[in-house]
Amino acid sequence: MKLNQQLNLKEVLLAALKNKLSASDYCALILYEHWESICGKEISKKTKPKSLYKNILTVSVENPVLIFELGFIKEEFIRKINTALDKSMAVKDIRFISG
């Protein structure tokens, strides 16, 4: 199978899931898919988006020190995340949790 065929299948599956999942679950799936491009390779290795509820994104973080550091760049993350998401489900805040 060629790479172009794989990318098309991925897009088809995401489009199908958009109609089956709730808006927040679909946005969480999109974030999970694009997480590395949103926050960079190093941070993506140590963090994962967990849930999106009432426009608040919960992100699991490897250690408490990183939670503190991420607090300083939270607004930049929100901007990048909202660029990746559908405008109807914009993230207003991020909650970092240890996990």
Quickly state the pLDDT bin for 92 (edges 50, 70, 90): very high
Residue 7 structure tokens: 């990318």
Mean pLDDT of 66-88: 88
pLDDT the model gives residue 25: 77
Residue 69 has pLDDT above 90, yes or no: yes
Residue 7 has pLDDT above 70, yes or no: no
- 3-state secondary structure at position 52: strand
**Beta partners for 51?**
58
**Alpha carbon distance 80, 59 (integer Å):** 14
pLDDT digits (tens, 9 = 90+) for 8-63: 676 776 677 777 777 777 777 888 888 999 889 999 999 999 888 888 999 999 99
- 3-state secondary structure at position 75: helix
- 3-state secondary structure at position 38: helix
pLDDT the model gives residue 40: 92
pLDDT higher at 74 or 8: 74
Name all domains of the chain by residue range, CATH numbers in brackets: 22-98 (3.30.300.180)
pLDDT the model gives residue 70: 94
